[in-house]
Amino acid sequence: MLEDRTTAAPSATAWPAAYPQGYAVVDVETTGLARDDRIISAAVYRLDARGEVEDHWYTLVNPQRDPGPVWIHGLTNDVLRDAPLFPDVAEEFAARLDGRVLVAHNAVFDWQMIAREYARAKREAPVRHRLCTIALSKALDLPLPNHKLESLAAHFGVVQQRAHHALDDARVLAEAFRPSLVAAAAGGVRLPLNECRPLTEWSDRPAPRIGQQAGYSGYRAASWRPSRKRPACPYPNPGRYEEGKRLKQGMRVAFSGDTSVERDLLEDRATEAGLHVATSLSRLTSLLVTNDPDSGTSKVVKARQFGTPVVDEAAFGQLLADVEPADG
């Protein structure tokens, strides 16, 4: 049971005064990971300062385009056809977020998708800070085998009923966040808060026709998918990534181990940003992305040997938001 796995809540005087007064635990399902992909469902669990659930909300959203990887989220064109458009739910969504810290698993992704939808609607989401539960689990040094939501849920005894359904994913995360928050407060752990900067303008590329979404023609609605040959990266390799600086188009990026986002979708996003997705690691690799740098996989071992920079999935997501154009 969840109660058997949590830390007893600290007294009112022991709760850190600097902690936020409210949280909005969010999950969005989307048509993909690219900058012009759309939200197709969203859920919010509002929590008080101690992580107790106040209420929850869920909506479908008509993306007015191909729904993308239906085998992941299960939302078909028929299901979404009569759903409201994002501008129709923007006010209610904003009311759920207003004045709260946005909490999500790989929060930079959810925040970017939300910010873009509001920018398209010529509005701003009332969010000033976000908290990534992947970063929080690392700060708490939780003994997780990987950084998937299902692993975090299992650690706290939370039962997941419908993976990749926004409402159930948000519920699971809310139930796992409360004991994480209690443990952080009891241990005096600083919450890994990041500033959110809303977009102020937006322009979309033409949306793909239904059934013809670019990048998904090679996927199949099954438990396996054939490997896809990606187009050659058009940019020269500018060298290794340097900590504190931006990624640059042409950099060679390799992935190792489990990711909270589907690997194919994560690689698609890197490719669209102008990066070279490498299937192996060599001295020419600019960056290795892994959530488990101590795993001992061949890529991690080679990264140590070659001195290849390593970042986790959440940090990589932040870097992808601002990739430097290639020279010339």
Q: List 4's β-bridge partners, or say none.
A: none
CA distance 29 to 166: 6
CA distance 45 to 270: 30
Instruction: Report in angstroms the alpha-carbon separations of 165 from 40, 112, 295.
Output: 11, 19, 30
Res 234 pLDDT > 60: yes
- The token duo for 284 is 């020419």
With contact defined as beta carbons under 8 Å apart, do 258 and 300 qualify?
A: no
Instruction: Specify the amino acid at residue 292.
Output: D
pLDDT of residue 327: 84
> Which ranges of 98-160 does DSSP label H, i.e. alpha helix?
107-120, 133-139, 149-155
Res 146 pLDDT > 90: no
Number of CB atoms found within 10 A of residue 259's CB:
21
Percent of the chain with pLDDT over 70: 85
Question: Of the segments 126-140, 196-210, 285-299, which one has the largest average pLDDT value?
Answer: 126-140
- Sheet bearing 129-132, strands edge to edge: 53-60, 39-48, 22-30, 101-104, 129-132, 193-195
pLDDT of residue 269: 83
pLDDT of residue 309: 94
Query: pLDDT for 165-210, tens place per residue?
Result: 999 999 999 999 999 999 999 999 999 998 888 777 666 665 555 5
Would you list the DSSP string of 196-264? Answer: --------PPPPPPTT--TT-TT--SSS-----PPPPPSS-------TTS--BTT-EEEEES--SS-HH
Query: pLDDT for 5-64, tens place per residue?
Result: 444 454 443 688 889 999 999 999 999 877 788 999 999 999 999 999 999 999 999 999
Query: pLDDT for 64-120, tens place per residue?
Result: 999 988 888 999 999 999 999 999 999 999 999 999 999 999 898 899 899 999 999
Instruction: Report in angstroms the alpha-carbon separations of 58 from 50, 84, 203, 247, 283.
Output: 22, 12, 27, 35, 47
Where does the pLDDT of residue 295 fall: very low under 50, low under 70, confident under 90, or very high at 90 and above?
confident
pLDDT of residue 7: 45
Please give the residue that has the higher pLDDT: either 44 or 297.
44
pLDDT of residue 190: 92
Residue among 104, 96, 86, 88 nearest 41 (CA): 86
Label residue 159 exposed, middle or buried (CB < 10 Å: 0-12, 13-18, 19+). exposed
Cβ density class 209-237: b for 16+ within 10 Å, e for less: eeeebebbeebeeeeeeeeeeeeebebeb
The conformation of residue 142, written as its DSSP 8-state character, comes to -
> Which ranges of the chain does DSSP label H, i.e. alpha helix?
2-5, 70-73, 77-80, 86-97, 107-120, 133-139, 149-155, 166-187, 263-272, 298-306, 313-320
With contact defined as beta carbons under 8 Å apart, do 266 and 243 qualify?
A: no
Where does the pLDDT of residue 304 fall: very low under 50, low under 70, confident under 90, or very high at 90 and above?
very high
Where does the pLDDT of residue 4 fall: very low under 50, low under 70, confident under 90, or very high at 90 and above?
very low
Q: What is the average pLDDT value for the chain, to the nearest integer?
A: 85
Please give the residue that has the higher pLDDT: either 259 or 122.
122
Q: List 28's β-bridge partners, or say none.
A: 42
Where does the pLDDT of residue 257 fall: very low under 50, low under 70, confident under 90, or very high at 90 and above?
confident
pLDDT of residue 321: 81
